[in-house]
Amino acid sequence: MAIFTAGIDVELREVSLKKKPQHMLDVSRKGTVPVLCDGTTVIDESLDIMLWALAINDPDQWVSRYSEAEKANAIQLIDESDNDFKRWLDKYKYADRHPEHEPEYYRHKCTNFLAKLDNSLQKQPHLITSAITLADIAIFPFVRQFSKVDRDWFDLCDFKALRIWLDTLLELPVFKRVMANHVKTHE
């Protein structure tokens, strides 16, 4: 979404993590996705790719609207999402691969972070400011993934502000456009 919003043309390549292409491994030793290769520049972290794109063009002010303190808070929240929350989310999504606990245990571990988001969203419509910013765009795909594991549970949970926020972001034209482009490219 950041690359699209910045108006940067890129070539998307679907990668099977079971059979990683040699070119990907040549440019990124980590062998993980995403990887952005722009001539001599290689960026292999989602947040860094987003920041790279928005440094080129930030028409919706997803980064440029932040004060320094807000940007630091956003980066910290994104880091928490990308690490601790994502680790529990993966176990919740693939609980059958992690039989040491029931899925509800992993869901409960996820809810610690979700409660933090919901608390913030009770004060304003978006995570860091009253407008959509980098933090919203970086974190919402993971909340979306969480909601899809057990949508009935999610729809009935106490996180009303979080559900409203998620539904709002799912209706963003940029999200619909990016998802439509991705599906069309890989059908």
- Other Cβ atoms less than 10 A from the Cβ of 159: the count is 20
**How many residues would you count in the chain?**
187
Amino acid at 39: G
Mark residue 36 as left, alpha or beta (left: phi above 0; alpha: psi -120 to 50; beta: remaining): beta
Same domain, 136 and 46: no
Same domain, 28 and 110: no
Average pLDDT, rounded, for the chain: 92
In a domain, 49, yes or no: yes
3-state secondary structure of 178: helix
Q: How many structural domains compose the chain?
A: 2
pLDDT in tens, 25-48: 888 888 888 899 887 889 989 999
pLDDT in tens, 87-127: 999 999 999 999 999 999 999 999 999 999 999 999 999 99
pLDDT for res 182 = 56
Same domain, 104 and 146: yes
Same domain, 41 and 75: no
Same domain, 167 and 80: yes
- Other Cβ atoms less than 10 A from the Cβ of 77: the count is 22
pTM (2 d.p.): 0.90
pLDDT in tens, 165-184: 999 999 999 999 988 855 54
Instruction: Tell me which of 140 and 39 has the higher pLDDT.
Output: 140
* Sign of the four-CA dihedral 120, 124, 125, 130: negative
- 158: nearest Cα among 104, 115, 127: 115
pLDDT for res 61 = 97
Same domain, 96 and 161: yes
**Candidate from 9-13, 58-62, 108-112, 143-147 with smallest mean pLDDT:** 9-13
pLDDT for res 17 = 80
Alpha helices (H) in the chain, listed in sequence order: 2-6, 22-27, 46-56, 68-80, 86-93, 103-121, 134-149, 151-156, 160-170, 173-185
Please give the Cα distance from 17 to 171 (Å, whole number). 30
> Cβ contacts of residue 2 below 8 Å, gap of 6+?
49, 50, 53, 54, 62, 134, 137
Using the structure block, give the residue that is written with the tokens 């549970």: 153
Which domain range does residue 120 map to?
68-173
